[in-house]
Amino acid sequence: MTDTLFEQLGGTYTQVGDYLLPDLTLPAETQTGNIGVWALRRKRYLKQHHKALYYNLLTSGKLHSHLADIEEQAQQLFLRLVKELAEKEGVTEQLKSADQMAWVRRMNNIRRRATEVVNSEVLFI
């Protein structure tokens, strides 16, 4: 029996029952950054709504670096938006010491709005 192109290129097979299955592995990814909540949301979104892009990134070995980039972008945008909105709306440490419940309500509102912006501009595109 002649070698297949796969075998000529250094590929090997494993016999499972009556079948010969090729030994395939994904390219190794370098761990360049951390994967947090934003990256996990992006991964879930890609898996559910953009399967072709997800599998292209996965099989090319670029998924982790893509998710790390998304995590960094989303985190920076979120923190910047929270800071800007808090300054714009007067949510300060003085309010926190005077009326904690009002401060918590307003900060939760700001964080929810910042999350929506990050979702629409970074994660779900």
Identify the pLDDT of residue 107: 96
In this predicted structure, what is the pLDDT of residue 1?
56
d(CA 122, CA 119): 6
Report yes or no: 77 and 122 within 8 Å, Cβ to Cβ.
yes
- Cβ neighbours around 124 below 10 Å, total: 13
The end-to-end CA distance of the chain, in Å, is: 50
Digitized pLDDT (tens) for each residue of the chain, 125 residues in all: 567 787 787 888 888 999 888 887 766 766 777 889 999 999 999 999 999 999 999 888 899 999 999 999 999 999 999 999 999 999 999 999 999 999 999 999 999 999 999 999 999 98
Predicted confidence at residue 20, as pLDDT, reads 82
pLDDT at residue 110, as a whole number: 97
Task: Report d(CA 105, CA 13) in Å as an integer.
Answer: 61
Whole-number pLDDT of residue 113: 97
